Amino acid sequence: MTESYNDKLILEYNLSSHQMIHTSLIGLAILCIAITGVNEISGYLLYIFIIGITILLGIITIITFSRKGFVKVDGKVFKGYFFGKNLLLKKTIDITDKNAFTILKLRKKQKMAFFAAANPDMAQSFDCYDIAFLNKKHTIKEVVLSLKKEKNSKLATEFLSKNTDLKLEIYSPDFS
C-alpha cells in the first residue's frame, strides 16, 4: 500500500539547541572512541566496526536534526517527524470526541545542564506555543505539538483548519 502525501507542514527542530549540543557531543565521543578503536581491530571485524559506527553516527545525526510538523496522508492528519523534506515517522492524532483546537501561549524555563557549579539556577526562559485539541466543553485538552515561534503556530493553525474539521477556538473551559 503506497501512501500519498497530499500536504505536509514542516515546522521546527524536534530538539532544542541545548539538546542538539548534547547529542552532537555524544556523536563526537563515539567518533573519538571509534578512531582509537580502529587501531586495535583488524581483518573483517574492522569493516563491521566501521559500518556499525557509521550507522550509529547516521542515526544520531538524524535524531539531532529532525524536525516536527504535520502531514496529511490519505485524507488523515498525522504528527510528522522529518529529516530534510523526507517523512521519517508519523504518529496518529486522535481527534475522536474533539471538535476544536487552540493555541496556548506559555512561558517555560529550561535548566541548563553542566552549568550548576557556576550558577545553580541557570535557566533559559522562552515562550512556547502549545497546539491542543479540545472537546466540546474544553474540559479535556490534549497537547499535540509545542512550538517556540509564534509564526509557526499560525502556520499550524492554517494547516489544521484547512485539513481537519476542527475549529480554532479560545480556550475557555466550561465546568458546569
Q: Whole-structure pTM over 0.95, yes or no?
A: no
Lowest-confidence segment of 2-6, 30-34, 149-153 by average pLDDT: 2-6
Give the domain extent around 57.
1-92
C-beta of residue 77 within 8 angstroms of C-beta of residue 71? yes
Q: Contacts by 105-110 with C-beta closer than 8 Å and gap 24+?
A: 105/129, 105/150, 106/130, 110/16, 110/18
Query: Is the residue at 138 inside a domain?
Result: yes
Place 4 in a pLDDT band, splitting at 50, 70 and 90.
very low
Residue 118 has a pLDDT of: 58
Q: Are strands 123-134 and 5-13 parallel, antiparallel or unpaired?
A: unpaired
The percent of residues in the chain predicted with pLDDT above 70, rounded, is 89
Same domain as 28, residue 88: yes
C-beta of residue 15 within 8 angstroms of C-beta of residue 64? yes
Same domain as 164, residue 115: yes
Question: Angle at Cα 22 formed by Cα 68 and Cα 32, nearest 5°?
Answer: 120
Domain end among 92, 116, 151: 92
Partnered with residue 13 across adjacent β-strands are 67
Residue 3 has a pLDDT of: 46
Query: Is the residue at 109 inside a domain?
Result: yes
Other C-beta atoms lying within 10 Å of the C-beta of residue 152? 19
pLDDT tens, position by position, 112-149: 666 555 566 666 777 889 999 998 888 888 999 999 89
